Amino acid sequence: MEVVRLLALWGDWVRAAGFGVETLAEGLNASASVFKGSKTARAPQGAAALFVTYLRECNILLQEQAPSLEETWPALAAFSRWMREQRGIKESTLNLYQPVLADLLISIGSDPAAYTAEAIRNFVLVRARPHGRSRSRCIAVATRMYLKYLIAMGHCPAGREHAVPSFASWQLATTPCFLGQSDIDRLLANCEGECRLRDRAVMLLLARLGLRASEVANLTFADIDWKNGRITLLGKVRREEWLPLPQDVGDAILAYIERARPHIATTRVFLTDIAPIRPLSRIAIKCIVRRGLDRAGIASIHRGAHVLRHSAATAMLRSGASLAGVGAVLRHRSPSTTALYAKVDIGLLSEIAQPWGGRLPC
């Protein structure tokens, strides 16, 4: 009823401002400057946004959508299709590549004949200048993958991808950011109650099994093998893998499904808890973790879902698991990726330590 009251308040303003049913979307945009300030003042705007979304889903309001990047750039659409079919790249990865490649097409053009080594290098350096090391590496990878696609299609000479500059990265120079067991317990303790059954199940999947945010968001009923106590995951490059389903994680998922999950026709397990009801996205999973950290009062520089993946790996190592075992649970393709976690325990460093090549001290 509170949402209806807020919507009525917004409706009075829209009517007084001269907006009709056909122009409610414009009225929503115009009201942004009116209902602003504190969270209470913005509440009518939030209720109106839900109402406009509902009208669009009912086809009462027609939504004019801007063309996607793939629709604007046919070359980008062909690249994305090739990456899905030939490389098995997931949509989340393509979503990171596409804005970079759109800037490449705007800067250099869509004609591969203009992709000289100098032009490619200048583009990457200029595009990466405002960003940090991690984002700069992503820009370089996206550009390099597009050039490899052009080479495979015969549009660019072989070796042109080497024109993309590399950015320094010392993989083992830092320690992974993780939460201690006491922080994990506090995080889960703040997910008690009927209204947070979903959040508890999500947190347990992240903190116990080290799943990625996209893997939790895309989990379906068919992925859960209740009889054998395991779940199947479609990881990177379409690799299907099985993981055991711990008792507490399974109980949390069942509690959410039976007592809190909205009843809509979708096979996805985790849904939004307020209208419009729809499957959770990867970003929504990260927001659940961020809100949970805030409720528990946990101070952490890294506040996304990946910090729980690091925490799961650290907890397994400190419980006596081997690096190879941790790598199998996290589904790492390279042992060097898992080796990063050895630094959380000095005793485990002996497994990756190399003999000293210098002279012994006198």
pLDDT tens digit sequence for 173-224: 666 688 888 888 999 998 888 889 999 999 999 999 999 998 999 999 999 9
Q: Is the pLDDT of residue 163 over 70?
A: yes
Burial of 346 (0-12, 13-18, 19+ CB in 10 A): exposed
Q: What pLDDT was estimated at residue 350?
A: 61
236 labelled catalytic: yes
Considering the domain 181-348 in this protein, what is its CATH number? 1.10.443.10
Marked catalytic residue, from 84, 186, 236, 290 = 236
309 labelled catalytic: yes
Strands, DSSP E only, in the chain?
Answer: 224-225, 230-234, 240-244
Which of 128, 127, 90, 83 lies closest to 105 in space, CA to CA?
127
Q: What is the pTM of this model?
A: 0.71
CA dist., res. 4 & res. 212, Å (int) = 37
Marked catalytic residue, from 144, 148, 303, 309 = 309
Q: What pLDDT was estimated at residue 347?
A: 56
Q: Half-sphere exposure of 149 toward its Cβ, with a 13 Å CA cutoff?
A: 21
Q: Is the pLDDT of residue 237 over 90?
A: no
| Cα radius of gyration (the chain) | 25
CATH 1.10.443.10 domain range(s) in the chain:
181-348
Q: What pLDDT was estimated at residue 305?
A: 87
Q: Is the pLDDT of residue 236 over 80?
A: no
Which CATH topology does 69-162 take? DNA polymerase; domain 1 (1.10.150)
Q: What pLDDT was estimated at residue 133?
A: 85
- Measured from the Cβ of residue 3, the count of other Cβ atoms closer than 10 Å reads 15
227 labelled catalytic: no
pLDDT interval class at 342 (50, 70, 90)? low
Q: Which residues pair with 244 in a beta bridge?
A: 230
Marked catalytic residue, from 160, 200, 303, 332 = 332
CA dist., res. 139 & res. 137, Å (int) = 5
Marked catalytic residue, from 127, 160, 212, 261 = 212
Element (H, E) at 49: helix 39-57
Vertex 135: Cα angle to 129 and 140 (nearest 5): 80
155 labelled catalytic: no
Q: Is the pLDDT of residue 103 over 90?
A: yes
CATH 1.10.150 domain range(s) in the chain:
69-162
Section 290-313 average pLDDT: 87
pLDDT interval class at 230 (50, 70, 90)? very high
Percent of the chain at pLDDT exceeding 70: 89
Q: What pLDDT was estimated at residue 285?
A: 94
Written as six digits, the tokens of 161 are 């991808």
The tens digit of pLDDT for each residue in 21-74 reads 778 778 888 887 777 766 666 778 888 888 888 887 777 777 666 677 777 889
CA dist., res. 193 & res. 202, Å (int) = 14
Q: What pLDDT was estimated at residue 360?
A: 59
Q: Is the pLDDT of residue 348 over 70?
A: no
Q: How far is CA 274 from the centre of its chain?
A: 21
Q: Is the pLDDT of residue 357 over 70?
A: no
pLDDT interval class at 167 (50, 70, 90)? confident
Pairing of strands 230-234, 240-244: antiparallel
Q: What pLDDT was estimated at residue 30?
A: 81
Marked catalytic residue, from 278, 306, 318, 343 = 306
306 labelled catalytic: yes
Q: What pLDDT was estimated at residue 203?
A: 94
Buried b (16+ CB within 10 A) or exposed e, 227-246: eeeebebbbbeeeeeebebe
pLDDT interval class at 172 (50, 70, 90)? low
341 labelled catalytic: yes
pLDDT, the chain, mean:
85
Burial of 287 (0-12, 13-18, 19+ CB in 10 A): middle
The tens digit of pLDDT for each residue in 280-299 reads 998 999 999 999 999 988 88
Written as six digits, the tokens of 330 are 């996290």
